[in-house]
Structure formats: C-alpha cells, structure tokens
Amino acid sequence: MTIAFSKYHGLGNDFVLVDNRHQPDLILTAEQAVKWCDRNFGIGGDGVIFVLPGQQGTDYTMRILNSDGSEPEMCGNGIRCLAKFIAELETADGVPVAPPKAYTIHTLAGTITPTLQPDGQVTVDMGEPILMAGEIPTTLAAADERVISKSLTVAQQDWVVTCVSMGNPHCITFVDDADAIDLAAIGPKFEHHEVFPQRTNTEFIEVMSRDYLKMRVWERGAGATLACGTGACASLVAGVLTERCDRTATVELPGGPLKIEWSAIDNRVYMTGPAEKVFAGGME
Ligand SMILES: N[C@@H](CCC[C@H](N)C(=O)O)C(=O)O
C-alpha cells in the first residue's frame, strides 16, 4: 500500500507529515517510521508526525515518532509544521483557511495551540514550563525541587545544568563557546545519563546578550538537529531562572532564529518561527 506524505521543515528540523485523520491508531509502525526517516534508504527526516482526530474537545491530535522510533510528548518545530499541514489538508477539503487561524492540538504534553500568522510564520502557545525534578523527570534533585545550576559529571567533565520540561525533558548547560562542543561525542552521554530516566534532550547555550541566545542541540531519539523548538523554549526559561537573559529573546539555532517569550502574566511560553513545505510523495 502506498501512503501519501508531505515533507516539511522548521528551520531545518525536518519531518514527514502523514494524514492520519481517518483512524485513531497510527497508520505506520515505529519500524516503518525509522525506515522513512533514513536519509539514505528512506525519505529522510528527524521524525514522522501524524495528524489524528481531536480528543477532549480539541480540533486535532498530534503524535510524533523520532527518527529512532521512540515517541516524544511534544515537538515545537513539528507543531508549526503540523499547523501548516492541517491548513493544506483543510484547503484541499474546500475549507477556507484565513490567517490568523488558531488550532487546538491534543498532544501527550496537553493541549498546544499554534496560530498561523498572516506573514506565514506560526506562533505557538507552548503552555507552562514544568520545573519540578520528578515531573521532568530527573533524579538530580528531590522530586518536588527545581533543578537550577546543579553540578553534573558527564564524560569525566563537570557541567552546570538546569533542567526544564516543555512536556518533554531538556537539560540546558550554558557554555562559553557553543561551536566548540563536540555534539556527537558528548550528546549521547547526556541523553543516556542515569539521572534522566526517560533520557533527555540537551541544549548547549552561549549567551550573546540578554535578548540573544545561541543554541546547539542534541535531541533525544534524533541526535544533532538543526533546530529544536521545545529546546529553544526550555533554554529561554533556563536563562531567565539563572538570571542570564530577559523573558523575551531570540534563540539562534544552526537552522535559523526563533522568537521566544516566557510571559510574566500567564507563565506560558510563546514561540514564533517559520514552517515550510518541501515536497510531497507516496511511500510503500
Ligand atoms: N525537535 C523537536 C523535539 C522533538 C522531540 C525530541 N527529540 C524528544 O524526544 O523529546 C522540537 O522542535 O521541539
């Protein structure tokens, strides 16, 4: 059977999008998703994203499989791509889509709301950051304590880390030179460290100014990627918690910049950035 797909990316964090609206179960297995994501033998991507019927009163449900087949709770760049994909599907169904247009999306991290903007960007209400160690999860502190500037030894080096969940776990470390980090060598050691029972995404952040952060990321289940939306949000939160940056900042990733705000009014994090369609096709 041939399954139709569309390929999108958000700042080079690339995904294969699948229309799964007609049934509640995923139409691909984790093994198929791994093959589809293969850059030599498949379509190529950091993950496969499925749009399913809404749950609990939401418009739609998003599920995602990382390129290693594991299922994360949320994906920031992916949900911007998903919003554009939904607009594509609705337009094909004859439903008019006029930005600004918001969709409520059920995810494993709760309800997330992306809004298509008239300029083509997508703003996402990413919800409130989760700061308690037990909920991130990490054993770096007691379950009901925050993990702010804690020492962690990884690969015989001492690091100072702050941990934040945006529905998925992030370990943030501030460094003098983000470009000097050997991601392929150190990233897996953070990802699989015993203090992260569900593994972790890791962000290496260089503070350029109070409103400009430079970030490189090693993603759980996907490795080094060109951008990570939840990671950019978590890093901004970590920057505020450690008094390194303002509540609104640009986070520069290898794939380009994201605008991030952690609102002092409602405690929610807002992310704005692009999402682009690359091509469409069919896969066995
Ligand atoms: N790239 C994504 C995050 C995707 C999930 C991540 N690899 C995980 O396992 O938590 C983003 O833009 O947020």
What DSSP string runs through 230-246?
HHHHHHHHHHHHTTSS-
Q: Are both 93 and 205 inside the same structural domain?
A: no
pLDDT for 192 equals 98
| 269-273 and 276-283 strand pairing | unpaired
Q: Is 75 a catalytic residue?
A: yes
Q: Tell me how far apart the 2 most distant CA atoms of the chain are, in Å.
A: 58
Residues 189, 77, 176, 135, Cα dihedral to 10°: -60
26 and 53 both lie in a single domain: yes
Q: Judge if 78 and 183 occupy the same domain.
A: no
| Residue 262 and residue 146 share a domain | yes
| Residue that is written with structure tokens 């605008």 in the block | 259
The DSSP letter of residue 98 is: -
Are 77 and 100 part of one and the same domain? yes
Closest CA to 281 of 15, 5, 2: 5
What one-letter code names the amino acid at 92? A
Here the CATH number for the domain that contains residue 152 is 3.10.310.10
Classify 14 as helix, strand or coil. strand
Does 70 share its domain with 156? no
Would the ipTM clear 0.90, i.e. be above it?
Answer: yes
> How is residue 168 annotated by DSSP?
S
How much is the pLDDT for 183?
98
Point out the catalytic residue in the list 37, 228, 233, 245: 228
Does the beta carbon of 216 lie inside 6 Å of ligand 1? no
Cα-to-centroid distance, 230 and ligand 1 (Å):
6
Say if residue 122 is in the same domain as residue 137: no
Inter-residue contact 38 to 31 (CB < 8 Å): no
* Same-domain status, 120 and 9: yes
- Residue 245 a catalytic site member: no
171 and 118 together in one domain: no
Same domain, 253 and 139: yes
Number of domains in the chain: 2
Q: Pick from 241, 243, 203: which is nearest to 76 by CA? A: 203
Angle 31-32-38 from CA coordinates, rounded to 5°: 95
The ranges of the chain with pLDDT < 70 are none
For the beta carbon of residue 195, count every other beta carbon within 10 angstroms: 20
63 carries a ligand binding annotation: no
φ and ψ at 242, to 5 degrees?
A: -100, 10
How confident is the model at residue 284, as a pLDDT?
Answer: 84
CA distance 15 to 78: 7
Q: Report the alpha-carbon distance of residue 26 to residue 21 in Å, rounded.
A: 10
State the pLDDT at residue 196.
Answer: 98
173 is in an annotated binding site: no
Which residue among 14, 219, 220, 235 is best mutated to probe the pocket of ligand 1, counting the most ligand atoms within 8 A of its Cβ? 219
Pairing status of strand 13-19 against strand 3-10: antiparallel
Who's near 242: CB < 8 A, 6+ residues apart? 148, 149, 162, 174
The answer to whether residues 176 and 202 belong to one domain is yes
My answer on whether 120 and 148 are in the same domain is no
SS3 177: coil
Contact yes or no for 258/80 (Cβ under 8 A) = no
Whole domain around residue 41: which residue ranges? 3-127+274-283
pLDDT of residue 1: 86
Q: Cβ(79)–Cβ(114) under 8 Å? A: yes
The residue nearest atom 4 of ligand 1, judged by CA position, is 75
219 in contact with ligand 1, CB cutoff 6 A: yes
Q: Is 65 within 8 Å of 29 (Cβ atoms)?
A: no
Residue 222 in contact with ligand 1 by CB distance below 6 A: yes
Indicate if ligand 1 lies below 6 Å from the C-beta of 67: no
